[in-house]
Structure 1
């Protein structure tokens, strides 16, 4: 807990060192993405014709897989509803994710790679364009990783409900227990996939390598540090959730009550979206600081196209033993 607090303090310190750059360039680059994600969660599920189509397709898929019906499992109904909302929102924000968010992260990573130089010179347009391609590859690979984690959780739930059907025990209590366990497994797999994705983006931004190699390096870096990564992600995600709730309360609720958008409401929405962008910048800085600490301790190098790990063991007599292993040799 103390170690996580130190990383957060160092991240805030790094943010304050380049405060004007991060709040002017990086935050404004992330502003369209922030506005899209806030608007998508507020208006897309209720107004888009895509949402009922996704919901019906998911329900048909769940029924064909033998999952509980809506009448027998309220938890699973809520789970399917939230999944439909998430898919509809992702489709809406995908163009902003692949453009504005990646460019904003590239500007942050480039500024953090050379902290002793002025941010304006370190994060030139050419450098950001250079980082865009590996970050885009990593973002696509991260999407496949998250989809794989979700598919794995669904496969496990399908197997569990198949066992329940085979035992001819479809009582409400049994279905509730299996659904709850499935929700827990889904949450754990998704949380780990998101943590790996965040570290992979940091690896890609700091080293300029993208795709599956960044994910492999992230997995090695996070060995034994997953709980620390989850602990670091918790305050940032809570802050983003609070901002989303503030947007719903101050903007969405006022719009639905009044029935029209006023200039003051639009200005307040822009301010909340800008605040959301600030925390996206902070979250990226936290991931970069955590990457540097993990990199210092693990000493991951890429030599001759092979992923190598140098392990250092220090004894009481200050004798150090170093050994280099190939990635395939790791247990």
Structure 2
């Protein structure tokens, strides 16, 4: 994390302008989608309420309370609302950061052909990431649904708050692992090694080897992002603030908060790039050391045979 902040400050003029301004539409769409899902649109987004009569749960079942807690409706709405910006604004901004770190200089000194040739792998990887996240969400939802249904079928109560807390923790831990792997897969694809599901597979291997490090990097940035989202909801999205303040003042403060959110995405991308670079170098060093040791063993065996 210290090296990420140092790298960010080393190219402060670049990282706080071009990539941040490109990521800004995506950040604004994230914050707006969460504000809309919590506003008057929320009854329309009550997805689990539509399916409740079809799933065979009793009216007192706490499974749907769990869906309220994990914000399933808000997650689906945000994913659809921000999809276009995730495939354009976010990817281009991340690509500029990755290119700057690969060439150790800002993007305006990097050939345009290099940028154009790397956007397609990132786009393909992002689409694969979306498929993976959707699959994991559906799988986790199905497992929770089966578990709650089985417990109620055997007469166990699901009204225990501790059970809901454990289910929520499992759901978010699985989702957090998938999110970290997907972010790292974009860096792998941007570095020009592989793309699509191959990049996700390589990111899984790298994340598995240094699991504690990558999640310790991701946790503080995610907490800061949650704080910025809360700040946007408190300062911009509240109904009394919208009524009391002028549109220009509200819009300017909203853009400033979205700018802060974009800065955190930039820092997160820098941290993922440095993690990938260091892990790759360590693996190459370990492989070279292992090969050298293997060659020494062979030479020693040949010497012993000649002596005999």
**TM-score, scaled relative to structure 2:** 0.85
Change (3 A) 1:256 1:183: same
Residue among 184, 201, 225 paired with 1:216:
201
- 1:62-107 CA deviation, whole Å, 9 max, x = no partner? 5544556466467425236x11012112211111111111110111
Q: Give 1:162's aligned residue.
A: 149
Q: For the Cα contact (< 8 Å) 1:35–1:273, is it kept in 2?
A: yes
Alignment of 1:97-112 (within 5 A): 97-112=86-101
Q: Aligned to 1:168, what secondary structure does the other structure show?
A: coil
Q: For the Cα contact (< 8 Å) 1:200–1:217, is it kept in 2?
A: yes
- 1:260-296 CA deviation, whole Å, 9 max, x = no partner? 6432222222222111111111110001011111111
Q: Give 1:78's aligned residue.
A: 68
Alignment of 1:1-331 (within 5 A): 8-48=1-41, 51-56=42-47, 58-61=48-51, 64-66=54-56, 69=59, 72=62, 75-79=65-69, 82-115=71-104, 117-122=105-110, 124-170=111-157, 172-173=159-160, 176-207=161-192, 209-253=194-238, 256=241, 258=243, 261-299=246-284, 311=287, 320-321=293-294
Once residues 142 and 205 of structure 2 are traced to their aligned partners in structure 1, the CA distance between those partners, rounded to angstroms, is 26
Change (3 A) 1:150 1:195: same
| Equivalent residues, number | 295
Q: For the Cα contact (< 8 Å) 1:134–1:208, is it kept in 2?
A: no
Once residues 146 and 225 of structure 1 are traced to their aligned partners in structure 2, the CA distance between those partners, rounded to angstroms, is 21
How far residue 240 of structure 1 moved from its aligned partner, in angstroms, is 1.2
For structure 1, list consecutive stretches of 5 or more residues without a partner in the other structure: 1-7, 301-309, 323-331
Higher mean C-alpha displacement, 181-190 vs 215-224:
181-190
Once residues 154 and 218 of structure 2 are traced to their aligned partners in structure 1, the CA distance between those partners, rounded to angstroms, is 40
Once residues 57 and 124 of structure 2 are traced to their aligned partners in structure 1, the CA distance between those partners, rounded to angstroms, is 35
Once residues 56 and 100 of structure 2 are traced to their aligned partners in structure 1, the CA distance between those partners, rounded to angstroms, is 51
**TM-score, scaled relative to structure 1:** 0.80
How far residue 151 of structure 1 moved from its aligned partner, in angstroms, is 1.9
Please give the root-mean-square deviation of Cα atoms over the aligned residues, in Å.
2.7
Change (3 A) 1:171 1:130: closer
Once residues 193 and 281 of structure 1 are traced to their aligned partners in structure 2, the CA distance between those partners, rounded to angstroms, is 19
Q: For the Cα contact (< 8 Å) 2:26–2:89, is it kept in 1?
A: yes
Structure having the larger proportion of residues in helix:
2
Q: For the Cα contact (< 8 Å) 1:160–1:178, is it kept in 2?
A: no
How far residue 108 of structure 1 moved from its aligned partner, in angstroms, is 0.6
- 1:185-244 CA deviation, whole Å, 9 max, x = no partner? 211211111111111011011125321010011111112322221111011111111111
How far residue 183 of structure 1 moved from its aligned partner, in angstroms, is 1.8
Once residues 68 and 188 of structure 1 are traced to their aligned partners in structure 2, the CA distance between those partners, rounded to angstroms, is 28
Once residues 148 and 105 of structure 1 are traced to their aligned partners in structure 2, the CA distance between those partners, rounded to angstroms, is 24
How far residue 148 of structure 1 moved from its aligned partner, in angstroms, is 1.9
Once residues 104 and 262 of structure 1 are traced to their aligned partners in structure 2, the CA distance between those partners, rounded to angstroms, is 28
Q: For the Cα contact (< 8 Å) 2:61–2:159, is it kept in 1?
A: no
Change (3 A) 1:152 1:313: farther
Change (3 A) 1:299 1:24: same
Q: For the Cα contact (< 8 Å) 2:16–2:263, is it kept in 1?
A: yes
